[in-house]
Every structure is written in C-alpha cells, then in structure tokens.
Structure 1
Amino acid sequence: MMRPGRWCHIASLLKGTAFRIFPVFLAGTVGLSAGCGKQTLSGADAPSGQSVQPPAFAPDPNAGLDVRKMAANAASYAITYGALDAAAIQNLKTYPLVIVHPYNGNITRDQIMSIKQGVNPSDSGDNVVVLCYISIGEDSRTFGLSDAQMLADSRFVGNGTGPVVDPRGAGASGTSLVGLDPLGTPTNGGFASFYLNDNAVHCNGAADGSPDSNPNFKTRFVNAGDPGWYQVVSDMTMNTNNHTPPGLKEMMTNNYGRSLGCDGVFLDTLDTAAPNKYTGSICSNSINFTNSEWTAQGFTNFIKRLRGEYQDKVILQNRGLFYFDPRYAHYDVSARGFIDINFFESYYLDNNSDSVVSPYYLDNKYNVAPKLMAEANRPDGFKVLSLGYANGFNDVPKPGIDIRTLLGQSILGFSTLLTDVTEALDVGFHPYITSASVEYINSFAKNHLPLIDTTPPHWSSVYNANYDPPLPETPRVGIQKAVTTSPGSVTLSWDVALDMNRVSYRLYYQTPGTSFDFATATKLMLTPVPGDGYAQVWNSAIPSQALSTVYPYQQTITGLQTGATYRFVIRAVDSAGNEDTNTNFIEVTL
C-alpha cells in the first residue's frame, strides 16, 4: 500500500495564506506544500523576475573547511522553505546545519553567505553548513503544462523517444532491479527520453504516450538515470517566468547563474522510484502514485555522478527509505556510501490535521527505524534527520497542539511536541519540528536536546515477529551467531543497537576461564559487512519473516589458534563512549 509518510496526497495547492516565520509575519504563499518536499510553482506563487546573472562575488566563509565533516558532527539543524528576512537569517545562524529552498524563498548568495558566517563572523568554529533544495524525480519546469504545451517547447521534446517504460515489461513488479537498462524502453511519443509512462501501463495495460504526472503538484515524473536529465538538472538556471529552479551548478559553484555557493544539496522526489507495491491497484487522476521502481538504479547513478563531480559537498537524500530496507529489491542498488544524510519526514508527527500522531508511527518505530539505522551506522553509513509537523495542510491546527508552543508562546501540545523529539533521539535521528508549510523557524527541538549523552545504546532488531500490525520487536542482544569458516577464523553475526549518537560495536574474546574477564580479554572495534543472506531477504516469499534467520552485521575474525576454544562477546558503544553491559557469549572450538 502507499505510505502517506513517504507519499503526500494534497487536493489543492496552497495559495494566498499568511505564514509566520519567527519572529515576524510574512504574507504570501507556501513555498513547498505541506511538508512533502514538492514545489508550488505557479506564476502567482513564484518570486517575480527572470534568471539572474552572477551577483558581485561574496566570499565563502566555509571555503577550505570540511563541510561534510561539519554536517556529520552537527547536533541540530533547521529547515525552511520560505523567504528570509534579517530576523530569520539571524535565527538560522545559531544552527550548525540549515536547509533552504532557493527558488521558493528567492534566496540570494549574500543571504546564504550571511547564514554560513554563524553568530560570530570572526570564528569559523560556529560556521553553518547550508544545503539547498532541488527536485530530481519530478520536472518542476513542467508545472501546469499540457502535453501539447510540452510538445511545443524544445526543452521537453529532446530526441522524441520518450516517454519511456519499464524495460522488464508489464507485470515485473518486485523483481530484481540490478542490471536493468537505465534508459528504459522508449515509446517514441515525441517527448524527451527522461519522461516516464509506467502509470499508463499499470492502469491501462499499455503506454499512452503522455508523460506520467503528479496530480497534486502538476509536474511530470522523470527517470533520473537518464544522462540527459542529469544535464538538465546540472545546467538549468533560475527563471521564475517559466518555473525553472536553480540547478546544481548555480547552487554549488561561484561562477554560474546566481552563484549561490550552497555547501550541498537536499535531493527531493526520489520516491518516483518507490516500490510498485506501494501503489497496488490504485489508478486515479487525483492521487499521487508511480509504478517506476525500475528507475531505482538510475537514481543511485545520479547520486554517484553527483558525488564524483562534487566530492567536497554534502548530499542529503530525502526519504527513499526503501533503499535501506532489505525487504525491498531497492536494497541492492542503494546510494549508501555516496550520501551524507538521509531525511525522514513524519516519523512521529505527520502533516495531517485530522490526527496528532502519524498512523504509521508504530511501523516507523518497530519495522523501519531499526533497518534504517543498521545502514546509517555502517562504516560507510550516513546521518539521519527527522522532521515532525506541528500542524496540518494549509496550516490547519492539529487537535491539542498550538504551533506557537514551538516558540514558547503557548503550552498547548508541549508534551506531544517533546515526545516527537525524544522518540527521534531514541532511535538515532536528529529532530526538528515545523509547520506543514515548512516555514516556521523555531528552536524547540534544539532547546530540548540532552546536554550530554550518558546512556549506552539499547539493542533492537531488524526482525520483528509482530510486524503487522506492528508491535515492539524482541531485541536480539549482543552476539547471535558464530561459525567457523576456515582454520583459525570464525565469522560472527549480530543485530542492531540504537542510540541518540552513532553506534559502533566492540568485540571481546578470550579462551574460557571460570568467568569472562572483560579487563583482560582481547578487544577489537568491528567493521562489519551485511550478513550472509541479508541483501536477498526481499526475494523471499515473506521478507519480514525471512529476517528471522539473518543479521544486518557480520565480520570474520582471523589469526586465531586452530584447535583452541574461544568465547566471544559483542557490545554496542556510542560515539560518546557509553558502552552497553551485556554478557551474552558464544563459545567456539576452532
């Protein structure tokens, strides 16, 4: 089924509403609708003006600094899709990591450089990393255009081989995504090769030549794996008269277009490649859905190319949680190792005004979060940010919550908002809470972060026998399996532990005595790989059940004495130095 926590269904674009950006009121329209990370790009909504030439060069305060390391170490962050006045900029300077929307906010290089300086311009130690929003799974330039209008514009025609469809053919949903033709199968409908037509195949049994569209945001879905699309996203410059947002060069360089000088990018709309099973039998012109899971490798190829061209920039992937879940074939083609941050919207508080807590919260906590953090805490893993919403679409209040509580101007809903923060921290996310319009700059989450972490990691499990309906998983504590693989070596397996800080794993081993002596045992910090069979779980009859016999982590220990008996213990330790105290061991004779 489709997951509103990952897909957003909005009946209308938001227009003509006043939204509060602390501490002043700004009139206008929502930059991105209801926290879904999609652009509202009508002429009335967009800032006025044409594509601009590079402004007078403003020095980059972060030049020469390791912004990727700075982002990895950031304890808090803020995000806004709105315009920035002096007060908003001053507030954002107090965060180590900030996400802005250059198009919707009509943001300039000078504003970005001002934020980067931090509170003290003479102290680079409080500098801010600034990331800029860009959509790579939908073409914002096509906002509101009909097929005929697109065909009359050379930007959308290309070589005329599009739209394209799944190269596996109809009925291939859920099969392997490895080794597919990244360009898909052309329909030769007269459009550029990067547009998609899979929804027509799903709903009508055959392509109809009309590029698939998002009915909520009136834009067309694209195949990010098409090199032609990468070139478009790279080269485009901001032009509000034809709904063109700034591209990669304009955002991350000092000599192209507005030369915004962003420290990295917030990549949105990767859910174009979501599992087809999310859609199920849905076929409606009023609901946002796709059937283009085959493009998953292409989206990762896009990110890999981006990493190659911008090695010192921060890459944030919004959503796309299925890439980090072995229950889906996407796990085989994830961008882990190439991204710095993953972004989890609506983990606890979603943007639905009819409910307080997301109806998917328990699934998020017990089924999704352990698997996500198993990937995040790998040696080539990433940071995870979460975003909660204090109100609903069109900024309609949620039951029992006054959004002004985020500013300390009310107490209504305080405990609920605080729970969003603590629940995120419990699984290792870095939280922020805002309005559904993503324009309510505040310090609530930052002000309620623990000053110091004194609690060791707690064990969890990627396997949950009670996955549907979701109930708490039974933790698989410490070492779970030890197998002799060759003379003098043993392969150890274990599950995931969670903590507000990054988690690593320490091995203790010794030959048996009357008791296990942790003080004298040999110690080794582990650098695990995915366990045997973990990446193939998606191909099982019931993937959630298949996780019962596999583990996310394993490592082979070599150089042991053949014929000797060893006891092995694995403990979880966080980056603050707190270590759990489990004494579970497995004894093996080599």
Structure 2
Amino acid sequence: MANIRQAYPNRFLLANRGLFLYNPDLSSYAYNLRGLIDFALFESYRLDSSSGQWFNEAFFNDNKYNYAQKLLAEADREDGFRVLSLGYAEGPGGDLAKKALDGEQNEAADILNADIREAAELGMVHYISDALVKSVNSYTIDHRDSEPKPPAWGSTLTPPWGKPIAEPRAGIQNIVVRGKEVYVQWDVAHSSARPVTYTLYMKEDQNFDFSQDLKTQAVRAVALHPGVPADYAGPGDRTKRYPYEDKVTGLTSGKTYYFVIRAQNAAGQSDANENALKIAAP
C-alpha cells in the first residue's frame, strides 16, 4: 500500500475490509493503513450476500461493537480516512429485496432501511447493492435521515465475541501524569456527520455547573489531538485502555482542575455528557 501511495500520490485509494489492520488486540495493528488510504470499505457490515439469512446476529454484533469501534477510532485521527460500508439486497427474500432496491414498497424494504440506519448511526457512508454488485441505485440516498444527530459515545473495549458492549464510555476516561506532564485519555464517539472531533474544557477549583454553558465557565477550551497511547496496542484487558490521548499544557502547579471532554460532529453539534475528572496539577 505504501508503494501504491508513493506511485499514485494524487489518486484515491480504497482498502476493502482488512479489519484486522485496525484492531489493536492483534499484532497486525502494527501495519495499520492509516496515512496511506483515503477510504476503508466495511463490506457486509450487516447484510451479507448469503441467500440463507438476512444477516447473522453474532457476526453483526462483532462488526458493530468490536471491529467498527476500533476502525472508526483510527478513521478520525489526524492522518485518518473515511469509512464506507456495503450491504447486500439478498437473503431469503432476495427477489423482494431487489425489488425494494428498485423502489417497490414491500416487506423487504424495512430490512434495507434498517441496514442504512445501522451504518449511519456510526457515521459510515453506506451503499446497498446485489451480490454481484451490479445494481447501481440511489436507494440509500433516498432513505437516509436528512438531519444528523449529535455525537453518541461508543467504546473500544473488546466485548465477548458476538455480544454488544455493556455500555458506552462517554467523555473523559482517564488522566495520566508522567513526571510533570499531564495527559487526558478518552474513547471514540460516533455521528452520521463525521469526522468527530473532541474538545477539552478545564475549570479551576470547583466542578462545572452542567446547567450552564461550559464555555462560559472554562478557563480554557482546547481542541484535542487524538494521539495513540503507548498501551493501546496489544492483547489483554482493555478496561483501562483507550484509543486517544493528548497532552494538557498551561496548568499551574498545585492548582486543582476539573476536566470535561465533549465530542462535536461535522455539523457543529456537540454531545452533552457530564463526566468530569479532577486533578491537582503536578
């Protein structure tokens, strides 16, 4: 991929699946394609090309709550990429699904519409075709929500295989002190209007009043850079491991600070989590 990027610096490059390259549980994470590709395609995110069933729930849960979380965490880094997704109008009602794809209103349309919603919820650019990918259509554009919603938090905590995550990890998750340096860590958030960015709000001496605008209370509001923590990659428990960290500067030694991290989408909408952590600056 590096050779292709070097040979064609002005072309768009798309990588199909290869989800293991973005999963920090696996040794293949060392060969992450971030910085080399423009798009990653999540083929068969929910609806696959099988004629025996609409989708496999366990595989879909693994896609949604495990691989997609980690993939999108990579996508929103500063050298990231856009994630596309592809579903198939096949399954046990394949003929009905293809007719729905062509505009017929039938019971398969609900299956296709759910596919669109599931992908949009995470901010992937979705498309639905047939198993041979011959169907060129505007179905997803015609049936997607026109207005984005504020970001919703996800989690890169690895769930049991085929199971959903227990709960999202909203806002700031950890503060790390390394000598005199302070770092904040957080997890990924999702919105149909990607990319999602993150802002750190800092207040001295007392916690935020969440009934008021954070911007009027904060001594500073800082746009965060989603760096990779040193312990993010590697097998093992992810309970206290997160995809993002950034260094906090400008603190006065001995003063107490409260930190809040909120997510913003490309439409300018912000989440409203009230998770705050406190630190005495070293």
TM-score past 0.5 threshold:
yes
2:107 corresponding residue in structure 1: 412
2:65 corresponding residue in structure 1: 366
2:245 corresponding residue in structure 1: 554
Q: How many residues align?
A: 274
The answer as to whether partners of 1:434 and 1:440 remain within 8 angstroms in 2 is yes
Residue 518 of structure 1 pairs with residue 214 of structure 2? yes
Aligned ranges 1:434-583 → 2 under 5 Å: 434-453=129-148, 455-464=149-158, 466-487=159-180, 489-501=181-193, 502-513=195-206, 515-516=208-209, 518-520=214-216, 521=218, 522-535=220-233, 537=234, 540=235, 543=236, 546-583=237-274
The answer as to whether partners of 1:509 and 1:567 remain within 8 angstroms in 2 is yes
Distance in 2 between residues matched to 1:410 and 1:458, nearest whole Å? 31
2:104 is paired with a residue of what secondary structure? coil
Could you state the TM-score of these two structures normalised by the residue count of structure 1? 0.45
Q: Cα distance 1:491–1:329, how it changes in 2: closer, same or farther (>3 A)?
A: same
Return the offset for 1:400. Answer: 8.3
Return the offset for 1:499. Answer: 1.1
The answer as to whether partners of 2:208 and 2:258 remain within 8 angstroms in 1 is no
Structure 2 counterpart of 1:498, one-letter code: H
Distance in 2 between residues matched to 1:366 and 1:571, nearest whole Å? 21
Aligned ranges 1:114-153 → 2 under 5 Å: none
Q: Cα distance 1:559–1:350, how it changes in 2: closer, same or farther (>3 A)?
A: same
Return the offset for 1:549. Answer: 2.0
Distance in 2 between residues matched to 1:399 and 1:305, nearest whole Å? 40
Could you state the TM-score of these two structures normalised by the residue count of structure 2? 0.92
2:214 is paired with a residue of what secondary structure? coil
Structure 2 counterpart of 1:345, one-letter code: E
Aligned ranges 1:15-26 → 2 under 5 Å: none
1:331 is paired with a residue of what secondary structure? helix
2:221 is paired with a residue of what secondary structure? strand
The answer as to whether partners of 1:316 and 1:339 remain within 8 angstroms in 2 is yes
1:419 is paired with a residue of what secondary structure? helix
1:429 corresponding residue in structure 2: 124
2:215 is paired with a residue of what secondary structure? coil
Structure 2 counterpart of 1:352, one-letter code: S
Return the offset for 1:308. Answer: 1.6
* CA offsets 1:281-327 (integer angstroms, 9 cap, x no match): xxxxxxxxxxxxxxxxxxxxxx1121122211101001101000011
Distance in 1 between residues matched to 2:176 and 2:44, nearest whole Å? 40
| Range with greater deviation from structure 2 (323-332 or 555-564) | 555-564
Distance in 1 between residues matched to 2:205 and 2:267, nearest whole Å? 31
1:411 is paired with a residue of what secondary structure? coil
Distance in 2 between residues matched to 1:575 and 1:370, nearest whole Å? 18
1:329 corresponding residue in structure 2: 27
1:417 is paired with a residue of what secondary structure? helix
Residue 318 of structure 1 pairs with residue 16 of structure 2? yes
Structure 1 counterpart of 2:71, one-letter code: L
The answer as to whether partners of 2:173 and 2:187 remain within 8 angstroms in 1 is yes
1:367 is paired with a residue of what secondary structure? helix
Distance in 2 between residues matched to 1:515 and 1:317, nearest whole Å? 43
Return the offset for 1:480. Answer: 0.7
Return the offset for 1:410. Answer: 4.1
1:323 is paired with a residue of what secondary structure? helix
The answer as to whether partners of 2:205 and 2:255 remain within 8 angstroms in 1 is no
Distance in 2 between residues matched to 1:573 and 1:514, nearest whole Å? 22
Q: Cα distance 1:515–1:555, how it changes in 2: closer, same or farther (>3 A)?
A: closer
The answer as to whether partners of 2:262 and 2:273 remain within 8 angstroms in 1 is yes
Name the structure, 1 or 2, with higher relative contact order (CA <8 Å, separation 6+). Answer: 2
Decide which structure has the larger Cα Rg and report it. Answer: 1
2:74 corresponding residue in structure 1: 375
The answer as to whether partners of 2:155 and 2:165 remain within 8 angstroms in 1 is no
1:402 is paired with a residue of what secondary structure? helix
Distance in 1 between residues matched to 2:73 and 2:116, nearest whole Å? 20
Distance in 2 between residues matched to 1:413 and 1:512, nearest whole Å? 57
Distance in 2 between residues matched to 1:573 and 1:406, nearest whole Å? 33
Which structure's residues are more often strand, by fraction? 2
Uncovered stretches (5+) of structure 1, i.e. residues with no partner: 1-302
Aligned ranges 1:380-391 → 2 under 5 Å: 380-391=79-90
